[in-house]
Amino acid sequence: MSGAADTTAAKKPGLALWLPLGLFGAFFVLVMFGLFRPASRDITSQMIGQPLPVFDLPKIAADRPGLAAASFKDGKPKLLNVFASWCVPCAAESPQLDELARSGVSVQGVAIRDRPVDLDAFLARNGNPYAAIGSDPTSALQLAIGSSGVPESFVIDGKGVIRYQHIGVIGPQDMDTLRQKLAEAAK
Amino acid sequence: MNRLAIALLALLAAIVAQAPAHANDSLPPAPYAYTQLADPAQEKVARDLMDTLRCLVCQGESIADSNASLAGDMRNIVRMRIAAGEQPEAIRAWLMQRYGSYVSYKPVMSAQTWPLFAAPVALLALAAFLLRGRFARRKPEDKSA
């Protein structure tokens, strides 16, 4: 019996012997790769290149009008900023949005699940770079444009087509990319 | 006993004080976030769909299980569209058009996912190939023993 097993092993020592180790090695590399370079948790919108859906959001801030899809078709690119007063990181991008607004970019806001009182306090505290702010109390527009959190910003070209999505806070390091995308959308 | 209670309260206060790092909105939930549809048949259709849609905030949960307000807003959309007579697969398609296949838990065969379906078949074939000699050999050995 042992003799028979020996002769079989002697015939084919190669593949069968090293295959388990090879498989383990491949699995190990895969696990380490996932461990040190974890996949991004961001969910990118599939609506890039698609026109904005039709919407007409009522006003919520005391001194800014509401926001409608029609206003995005005036030939000029705009930045659509999805934010909320209850969103802590949103305050961190206010200086960057202010800078964009000062340099002539039209910043349009969508306030997600917000109250007028809270929003006015937020704008008084952090500055108000918005030309218009629409109220989205049930995240309907947010879901319609494929946004999954606050803050997120979309570059919309002059025809109302979504051209670029920025997920998360706009930091000083994101300004060059954003300006470039706005310039591309102006063409 | 009192000291213990005070110590526990202090501990609880410390834990609660750390919590608000993840802020949330104060608006009441959307109309159909926690309210079932009046028609039980429609509610079942909506429920079956919500069980297979992924929450975009708590990414391991279905929107039926999640307490995130965005999941509530997604349930609101699903129930309103079902109530309006839309087919569940059309609503799934609407969401996938916006968020990709990520948002759906329903498995589909695609260019990306075919290995998941092919791998078990390939592994079974490999096992059969590796074991083919053993089954054939055992019979003569049993006889000799």
Q: What is the 3-state secondary structure (H, E, C) of chain B?
A: CHHHHHHHHHHHHHHHHHHHHCCCCCCCCCCCCCCCCCCHHHHHHHHHHHHCEECCCCCCCECCCCCCHHHHHHHHHHHHHHHCCCCHHHHHHHHHHHHHHHHECCCCCCCCCHHHHHHHHHHHHHHHHHHHHHHHHHHHHHHHC
Specify the pLDDT at position A131: 96
Partners of A112 on chain B (C-beta within 8 Å) are 25
Report the amino acid identity of residue A24.
Answer: F
B95 and B55 in a common domain = yes
Mean pLDDT of A123-133: 96
| A144 Cα to chain B: minimum distance (Å) | 7
Residues A8 and A92 in one domain: no
Domain that holds residue B126: 110-145
Residue A32 banded pLDDT, cuts 50, 70, 90: very high
Task: Please report the pLDDT score of residue A20 as a whole number.
Answer: 92
| Closest to B46 in 3D by CA, of B88, B86, B74, B85 | B88
Stretch B93-115: mean pLDDT:
92
Picking from B30, B59, B95, the nearest residue to A41 by CB comes out as: B59
Residue A151, preceding peptide bond in cis (omega within 30° of 0): yes
Contact state of A46 with B99 under an 8 Å Cβ cutoff:
yes
Q: Is residue A51 part of a domain?
A: no
Q: Per-residue confidence at A160, pLDDT binned at 50, 70, 90?
A: very high
Question: Is it the case that residue B109 has pLDDT exceeding 90?
Answer: no
pLDDT value, residue B19: 41
Query: How many Cβ contacts (< 8 angstroms) between chains A and B?
Result: 73
Report ipTM (2 d.p.).
Answer: 0.81
Residues B34, B81: one domain? yes
Structurally, how many domains does chain A consist of? Answer: 2
A158 and A70 share one domain? yes
Two tokens at A182?
């706005």
Q: Quick check: B21 pLDDT over 70?
A: no
Measured between CA atoms, how close is A183 to chain B, in angstroms?
25
Put simply, the answer to whether A137 touches B27 (Cβ < 8 Å) is: yes
Same domain assignment for residues B53 and B88: yes
Domain count, chain B: 2
Please state the rounded mean pLDDT for residues A142-157: 96
pLDDT reading at A67 higher than 60? yes
Lowest mean pLDDT among A37-41, A61-65, A152-156, B41-45: A37-41
pLDDT for position B142:
55
Chain B residues within an 8 Å CB radius of A148: 56-57, 70, 99
CB contact under 8 A, A45 and B141: no
| Beta-carbon separation of B27 and A43 below 8 A | no
* B124 and B98 within one domain: no
Of B73, B96, B130, the CB nearest to A139: B73
Q: C-alpha dihedral over B1, B2, B4, B8, to 10 degrees?
A: 140
Do A80 and A166 lie in one domain? The reply is yes
Confidence of residue A41 (pLDDT cuts 50, 70, 90): confident
The answer to whether the CB of B82 falls within 8 A of the CB of B91 is yes
**Cβ within 8 Å, pair B98-A86:** no
- Contact between B98 and A45 using a beta-carbon 8 Å cutoff: yes
Question: A28 and A68: one domain?
Answer: no
What is the least distance, in Å, from the CA of A111 to any CA of chain B? 11
Cα A115 vs. chain centroid, distance in angstroms?
23
CATH number of the structural domain spanning residue A64:
3.40.30.10
> Based on the domain organization, do B39 and B93 belong to the same domain?
yes
What is d(CA B64, CA A57) in angstroms, rounded to the nearest whole number? 27
- A169 located within any domain: yes
- The CA distance from B110 to the nearest CA of chain A, in Å, is 17
CB contacts, 8 Å: B25 with chain A: 84, 86, 112-114
Per-residue confidence (pLDDT) for residue A5, from 0 to 100: 46
Considering the entire predicted model, what is its pTM? 0.78
Same domain, A71 and A152: yes
| Domain span holding position A153 | 56-186
pLDDT for B24-74, tens place per residue? 788 999 999 999 999 999 999 999 999 999 999 888 899 999 999 999 999
In a domain, A120, yes or no: yes
B51 or A17, greater pLDDT = B51
